[in-house]
Structure formats: structure tokens, C-alpha cells
């Protein structure tokens, strides 16, 4: 624990929700993350982990405070890890818009100045953070990943590019093909430049359409609210569905009448998502 600074600690459903800071090599900045550890986790009973990636303007706190996932984490015996959505600090590049810069890392490794100095959230999420968690907490190496909106995009991309690292993936209201929508085009132009071939490396629909090996397919669940104000312009989940049909990928896309983009939607279906992940995470 020498590398971790404890920021806060809260008892919840018999387990502990704790927030930490550490100096990240991947982002070259101080990063914050939250961990919910169920009460059954100890050195003799290491539990699997669900990683949660949040959306634009969010931090590690949104999901932990609003989704109501802790009770199910205890019931299923799963730890939850929620990183921040970007590097932060006075030395970290930023933008006046809410959809670029701090709070909007898009889970890519930026290649363009000034963003390339700190914005390596893809490496942070897929490599550095899991290594840190597994070295310092009573968890095993069984991982799944989920997220919302920008974080749903991130979860899908991390899983599709690293199927050996994750046992399952799910997303709420993901930005399904960011290379084709305003949010993604703005972020990708800034972080990755104008060379659109590099954009495809972080486009879930493109990655899904190009899966050719059955061993690269892991169970995937996507939930989309039909009253979501961003559905048509920014999210476009049908692109995922079309790609999955073409490749035979085991994707379930559920559409829910009346639900919007908020955490009211996430809280309504988080139990289903956690049970979905537990079917592979908790296999003996």
C-alpha cells in the first residue's frame, strides 16, 4: 500500500468503499480511483473484480454513489473498481468544453500535443490499474468491465482489444461508433489527429465488425434507454447490433422504453448487469 494514499473510507453493506490517489506512470499525473470491497474478500478468499468506466464530466464518485451496486457486490462476492475519467491537475491540458480534456479522457492513448503528455487512459485502465489492484487488494485475476456513455465506449473498446484480459463486458448507453458521431470526432481529432485509421482502434463498432476468431469473443450486454436524448446523434447502438450479426459475436442489445441517459436508468438495471458478469466471474 506504500504507493496508495487513502482519501476516504465508508462502510457499506458490511464491506468498505474506499477512495485512493496514486502517482500514475501511464498518465504522468496523480490519479484517483475508488474500490468497493465486499466483506467476504480476504487473503484466503480473493474475489473477482468488475471495473466500471464512467462517462463525460464524471469522476470515480458518480457510479459508487448513484448506481446502488454495493448490495449486489456483496451478494455475488465481487469487488468493484471505478477509476476517474481522465488525468487531472494544473499541469494537465484542458479545454473549455465539457466533452474534451479533464473529465473527458475517452479511454484512448493520445498521440497529439498537448494531450499526449498525460492522456493515456487506455493503458491506465487495461494495464496499470489492474496490476495495482491485484498487488494491493484481496482480489484474483478474474476481471470484467462495464461502463456508461463515454465509459461504455471505453469498456467495449478495452474488452474487444483485450479479450484475454476480461471474461465479460457490458455497457449502458455507450457511444457505439465514436468515429461517426460529434462527441467522438471532436475527441479523436484532438487526441489522435486527423489520421482516421487510428480512430478505428478505439471504435467499438469497427472492432466488433472485425472480430474473426471465436476465442476473441466474450459475452457482451448493452442496455439502451429509448428516451435517451443522445440516442440518435451520439450513441447509435444499432451499429453494434449490425456488427455482431455479421460476425456472430455474442452480444445482447436490450432497449428499454421510457429510460433516459441518467443514473436512474443505470440504477434500474445494474443488478441485471452484475448478475450477467457474475455468471463468468464467479465460476469455480
Active site residues: 149, 228, 261
Grid coordinates belonging to 256: 428499454
Asked whether 192 and 184 are in contact (CB, 8 A), the reply is: no
Nearest C-alpha neighbor of 93 from the set 122, 116, 108, 114: 114
* CA–CA separation, 150 and 175 (whole Å): 6
Q: Where are the beta strands (DSSP E) in 15-63?
A: 15-24, 29-37, 47-53
Take residue 100 and report the three cell numbers written for it.
474534451
Strand partners, 19: 8, 34
Of 81, 106, 86, 85, nearest to 29 by C-alpha is: 86
> Helix, strand, or coil here: 206?
helix
| Distance (Å, whole) CA 119 – CA 30 | 12
What value, to the nearest 5°, has the Cα angle with vertex 23 and ends 22 and 26? 120
Q: Which of 91, 80, 69 is nearest to 33 (CA)?
A: 80
Amino acid at each position: 500500500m506504500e504507493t496508495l494514499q487513502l482519501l476516504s473510507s465508508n462502510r457499506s453493506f458490511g464491506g468498505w468503499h474506499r477512495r485512493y490517489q496514486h502517482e500514475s506512470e501511464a498518465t504522468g499525473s496523480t490519479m484517483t480511483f475508488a474500490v468497493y470491497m465486499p466483506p467476504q474478500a480476504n487473503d484466503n478468499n480473493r474475489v473477482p473484480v468488475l471495473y466500471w468506466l464512467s462517462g463525460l464530466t464524471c469522476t470515480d464518485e458518480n457510479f459508487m454513489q448513484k448506481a446502488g451496486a454495493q448490495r449486489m457486490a456483496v451478494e455475488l462476492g465481487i469487488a468493484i473498481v471505478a477509476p476517474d475519467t481522465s488525468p487531472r491537475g494544473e499541469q494537465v491540458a484542458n479545454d473549455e468544453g465539457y466533452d474534451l480534456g479533464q473529465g473527458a479522457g475517452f479511454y484512448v492513448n493520445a498521440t497529439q500535443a498537448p494531450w499526449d503528455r498525460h492522456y493515456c487512459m487506455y493503458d491506465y485502465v487495461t494495464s496499470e490499474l489492474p496490476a495495482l489492484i491485484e498487488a494491493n487488494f484481496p482480489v484474483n485475476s478474474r476481471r470484467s468491465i462495464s461502463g456508461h456513455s463515454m465509459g461504455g465506449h471505453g469498456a467495449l473498446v478495452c474488452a474487444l482489444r483485450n479479450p484475454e484480459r476480461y471474461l465479460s463486458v457490458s455497457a449502458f448507453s455507450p457511444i457505439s461508433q465514436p468515429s461517426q458521431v460529434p462527441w467522438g470526432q471532436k475527441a479523436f481529432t484532438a487526441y489522435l489527429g486527423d489520421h482516421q485509421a487510428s480512430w478505428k482502434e478505439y471504435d467499438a463498432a469497427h472492432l466488433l465488425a472485425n472480430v474473426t476468431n471465436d476465442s476473441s469473443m466474450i459475452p457482451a450486454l448493452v442496455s439502451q434507454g429509448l428516451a435517451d436524448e443522445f440516442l440518435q446523434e451520439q450513441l447509435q447502438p444499432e451499429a453494434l447490433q449490425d456488427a455482431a450479426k455479421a460476425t456472430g459475436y455474442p452480444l445482447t442489445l436490450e432497449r428499454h422504453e421510457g429510460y433516459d441517459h441518467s443514473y436512474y436508468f443505470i440504477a434500474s438495471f445494474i443488478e441485471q448487469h452484475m448478475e450477467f458478469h457474475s455468471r463468468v466471474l464467479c465460476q469455480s
